[in-house]
Structure 1
Amino acid sequence: MIRTGEQYKQSLSPDRRIRVDGERVTDVTAHPQFAPAVGIRARIHDLAHEAATRDVMSYADPETGERHAVANRPPLTQRDWHDKRAAVDTVLDTARGVVTRVGDETVGEMWSLRDAQDVLDGLDPRFSGNIRRHIARTVTDDLFHVSADTDPKGDRSRRPQDQDPDMLLRVVRETGRGIVVRGAKYETAAAYANQAFVKPAVADWGGTERSDYAVGFICDMNAEGLTFLCRTGFAGRGSAEDYPLSHRVDEIDTLVVFDDVEIPWEDVLFYRDTRAAALLRTTLHRYSALPFTHRTLRLADLMIGAALWNVRQTGLENLQGVREKLARLACWREGINAHLTAAIALGTRSPGGLCMPDQSLLYSGRVLASAQLPEMMHLARELCGGQVCVTPDAAAFADPETGGWLRKFYSVNDTWLADDRRRLLAFARDLLNSDYAGHRLTFQLFAQGPPFAHLSAVYHAFDWEGPLDLVRDAAGLSDRVRGTGRPT
């Protein structure tokens, strides 16, 4: 059954070994750096119960009548994808900012395993039931599911075996109950998630068919042997008045250390087969790229809104140069939306029977969203103007000694008084200029792989046959010349 926010909080064991700033965290629900993100995740659960949002965030199972989260529902129709987009928008409206690792953008990786099940069965049929059971469990148990992908890696010019072998997560032995793994994975939100899909990040296995590093499994985040080494959160740096996004929607990134963690056999999804691992890498984001890219669309809306309010405040909206910059932001935003909408509209039936967004359009939209993000952020900075980086903090506006001067110089007219002007500039600064803003920019560029991996996905998804046939006919090439379709 769908959980409440309080039930989610109670599922986070106080025995987890969580460290941040050199200290042990015993309660992530109350710790000032973790509490904002935990609170958002809890609100997602509660939204599924509240009358105003219940039908957006949840659905009734046609067979059992029980309600489940829209985010975790495997997509069978285009309507399912539109429902998922509406649910994402509801979450982001509630958060009043962009949150990325809250579950819906990671659970799709499991659906890729469902699509590959026939191939995986041919490689190792032992784990088929595990895959089906875990996909069903994400639906019925309403778990906060995240993804553990990136390893520390170490010296990338050397094989893991030729350096400290724990630089990539590996299986160290088998037991009667399962496998024992050692290593580490980076994963945002792991410290306050319920489970993670752990899989290798290796792209080239060097022709070997068997490897202790080629393993995929579901890990209970309350498991023995896990240690969570977290980066310092942005909440607590400055005041919430000056850094509203940092204090509201920062998500804590974590290096999860696996110190001889036992994974039960029923939680293993593939094991020691590099062909299975390579197959997963090529299909991993065929679903999850859509909600991930959708969040950049929302980020674009925040940037446009901050820039447009600023030029309206200062009376610059009618300048041609300003309108051209706003139009460029709008074109980027609409380009992202067009790719997402078309990817759903032209979706096809996947090997596992799901409604799969058109892969070429989806991956091209992800490239558009991510590759142009730095340029668009700088364009929004231009439109917000230099006061974003020179405005004093809220305490200075409240100070009897300085407040009078600041209210004088920051009041634009009878409509835009100093307090609203300060609030807008503080929001824009946190969105575009702060440590949090820089972190988010880098995160968006690498969260689903580096830019070259995004382009590689487009290369393998695009249908090259059409352009080849077009030019063959237009140039009058002989019938001996044939296209080869998609590259291998």
Structure 2
Amino acid sequence: MDSNMKIESKAMTGTRNGVRSGADYIASLQDDRSVWIDGERIKDVTVDRRFRGAIQSIADLYDMQCDPALTDKMTFLSPSSGARVGLSFIQPRSAEDLRRRRDMMKTWMDAVGGMMGRTPDFLNVMVSAYASAHQLFAVGGERFAQNIVNYHEFIRENDLALTHSLVSPDIDKRKQMFEQPGDMVMRVVRDSDAGIYVSGARSVATLGPLANEVLIMPAAAKFPLVKEAEAYAVGFAARIDTPGMKMICRPSLPTRGRFANDPLSARMDEMDAVVWFEDAFIPWERVFMYRSIKAVESAMKSPSGPHGSHQSATRSLAKMEFLLGIAYNLVEVNHSKFPPVMGLLSELVAFVETLRGMVRVAEVDCIPGPNGTVVPYEPPLNVVRAQYPAMHARALEILQFLGAGNLVVAPTIEDLKSESGPAIERYCAGADIPAERKMQLMRLAWDASCSSFAGRQNLYEKFFAGDPWRNAAIRAERYPSAREAQDRVWAFLDRNGEWEERINGKRSHAPNAEIFRAIAICPEILEAFIPMADAIRKGYGIDPKLREMAIVMTCQTMGTSYEHNPHWNRAIKEGVPKEKMLALWDFEKSDLFSDLEKAVLRLARDATRAPAQVSAEVWNAVHLQLGSQQSLALLFNIGWYNMTGRLTGPLDLSDEAGFARL
């Protein structure tokens, strides 16, 4: 196959006009697709009541791209055609590109309250990531690398909506896909010069009946990398109207067909389906891997995961903000700002800000990706994947608490227009809003937290990224900072032994070594503390009796005993009579102290009192007899024990074991 194949091949044709409108999108769905629901094949999904609400919601998103006021926010210039194309197709090359893309995705998500998990941007982002790492697909053959690049350009230039299906259904969870009975799992059955033929099922294709194309890739997290799985090691893209392919949909969510009554169910049921292939033909131009276990293993290294997580985390943020807005409005309409109620709101605020922080960290801390691109930093996005399902479930519970009985008796628009309307106007009114406005809010809160739509949303959040338990195990195993954290612990324990040796060895003479053990919790401070203490205690020739009396006076003035008691003993050991030590507090009236001793004690006392004010007379009396160096060194000793005394007081350190005051 020609590695320079152009995208205008018969397998991939389109108008190449860049961004399309909502009307263009709707028209693109009117083809010969085989969509089945409730036992019938749907001839035209655009007019079927079970699909048209979600189709219109997607169409509205496409129209936003065509709004001149949003052009710069929603689009960028195609690197190949120069036309305006959707910004979700960009291959980011900087943190700013990631921010721009997130701003675009957030705009779409805000428009649907984050309630649609498979808007077109999700797959746009993932295919763009695959194409940025196209060399990974060359493991199975160079043409497959070129195919993914061409396909990315094709969907970008034609602004197509994609679904995907990565999971193989299983009848017996104990068995691998190639061991399942009845040839049920999708696999390659044969090939030809023109392409490949596939048969079997894939699940789940959310948005499938409403998309233009389906992307089929192996589920990397659970694909068995063994030879027996070769027939299943295939990746390709197919048009939804591909002959031999059908979408078998779950039942639609029950609604009354009125947006006012079911504002979410009637508009945003994006539909889930099983994709069934019966000898369906896929042209080689659309194949990205073929019967290659190595290609599956290689594709696992692509950045599609982090990029897809960036989109889903952005959606999670928009959704939680929307639920937060509902909650605040429920509180406001009933004037129920009581402390327990506000506590519930604060939980939602914490969820919102946590999600916002995770998204921003992923962008700011992005890492280099393939071919000059950047990749969002994945660990914070994994936090969102791990924690959002619980956040979402709790948010729905909070809405139920706040709405309470109002949710189960919220009338419909038909009720308001019936003969019961006047009564409803009275009992359904809010504190400051009319009944119809409050009814709209309650119907929305019901749909978001209690309806079938809410139940499907809750299930979706738990499983949309795959098996949550397997994913959690993979995230833990691949956490990039795990080894660094482990090494930091071992280093701490090694240094802890060194500190113990230093404290009990080099400083073992100190009767107050407990302070060093306390400071050891801050190793950098301890590293500086010990040499500083040693330097200050050298004293620069200060008479040790003067120094120890000054330290004891400092501690007495502060009222701290931890440093006071050992230095009391040290003063006596240095030769200060105990009688003089007992008279220390009243030294001014005692005849036991020399003029220099009194001057030193005044300096220690006045420098320690609050506020510390040492008069020129007091300072000069010391300076005149000790000189500049010894006077400053003495003042450092006084200041040092001011610091340690104020440190040991709050820490409530006790004297060393076996200590006794003389």
Q: What pairs with 1:144-155 in structure 2 (closer than 5 Å)?
A: 144-155=161-172
Q: Given the alignment, which residue of 16, 24, 29 partners 2:41?
A: 24
Q: Secondary structure at the match of 1:107?
A: helix
Tell whether 2:319 aligns with 1:302. no
Tell whether 2:186 aligns with 1:188. no
Deviations 1:319-375 (A, max 9, x none): 111111111111111111100011000001113432100011221222222232212
TM value normalised by structure 1: 0.91
| Bigger fraction of residues in helix | 2
Q: Given the alignment, which residue of 293, 298, 308 partners 2:313?
A: 293
Task: Mark the structure with the bigger radius of gyration.
Answer: 2
Tell whether 2:452 aligns with 1:435. yes
| Bigger fraction of residues in strand | 1
Give the Å deviation of 1:209.
7.3
Contact 2:233 2:292 in 1 (8 A): yes
Q: CA RMSD in A?
A: 2.3
Q: What pairs with 1:204-353 in structure 2 (closer than 5 Å)?
A: 204-205=223-224, 207-208=226-227, 211-234=230-253, 236-237=255-256, 239-281=258-300, 283=302, 284-317=304-337, 319-353=338-372
Q: Secondary structure at the match of 1:109?
A: helix
CA distance in 1, matches of 2:75, 2:225: 45
Give the Å deviation of 1:267.
1.0
Contact 1:359 1:461 in 2 (8 A): no
Q: Given the alignment, which residue of 31, 37, 62 partners 1:14?
A: 31
Contact 1:235 1:248 in 2 (8 A): no
Give the Å deviation of 1:107.
2.5
CA distance in 1, matches of 2:136, 2:23: 40
Residue of structure 2 in register with 1:387 after alignment: 406
Give the Å deviation of 1:163.
3.4
Amino acid at match of 1:303: L
Q: Residue 380 and residue 462 in structure 1: after superposition, are their counterparts in 2 closer, same or farther (change >3 A)?
A: farther
CA distance in 1, matches of 2:110, 2:360: 20
Give the Å deviation of 1:206.
5.7
| Aligned residue pair count | 475
Q: What pairs with 1:27-42 in structure 2 (closer than 5 Å)?
A: 27-42=44-59
Give the Å deviation of 1:210.
5.6
**Bigger relative contact order, structure 1 or 2 (CA pairs below 8 A, ≥6 apart):** 1
Tell whether 2:442 aligns with 1:425. yes
Q: Secondary structure at the match of 2:415?
A: helix
Contact 2:230 2:291 in 1 (8 A): yes
TM value normalised by structure 2: 0.68
Tell whether 2:516 aligns with 1:468. no
Q: Secondary structure at the match of 2:118?
A: coil
Q: Once the two structures are aligned, what percentage of the paired residues are identical?
A: 25
Q: Residue 275 and residue 246 in structure 1: after superposition, are their counterparts in 2 closer, same or farther (change >3 A)?
A: same
Give the Å deviation of 1:97.
5.8
CA distance in 1, matches of 2:426, 2:481: 61
Give the Å deviation of 1:287.
0.6
Give the Å deviation of 1:450.
2.6
Deviations 1:413-434 (A, max 9, x none): 3x22211121111110001110
Residue of structure 1 in register with 2:392 after alignment: 373
Give the Å deviation of 1:114.
3.6
Q: Secondary structure at the match of 1:476?
A: helix
Moved more, 87-96 or 266-275: 87-96
Amino acid at match of 1:299: K
Q: Residue 325 and residue 462 in structure 1: after superposition, are their counterparts in 2 closer, same or farther (change >3 A)?
A: farther
Runs of 4+ in 1 over 6 A off after TM superposition: none
Q: Secondary structure at the match of 1:212?
A: helix
Amino acid at match of 1:407: E
CA distance in 2, matches of 1:324, 1:450: 33
Residue of structure 1 in register with 2:377 after alignment: 358
Give the Å deviation of 1:204.
4.4
Q: Secondary structure at the match of 1:255?
A: strand
Amino acid at match of 1:425: M
Q: Residue 408 and residue 8 in structure 1: after superposition, are their counterparts in 2 closer, same or farther (change >3 A)?
A: closer
Residue of structure 2 in register with 1:139 after alignment: 156
> Which sections of structure 1, spanning at least 5 residues, go unmatched?
479-488
Give the Å deviation of 1:13.
4.3
Give the Å deviation of 1:181.
0.4
Contact 2:389 2:461 in 1 (8 A): yes
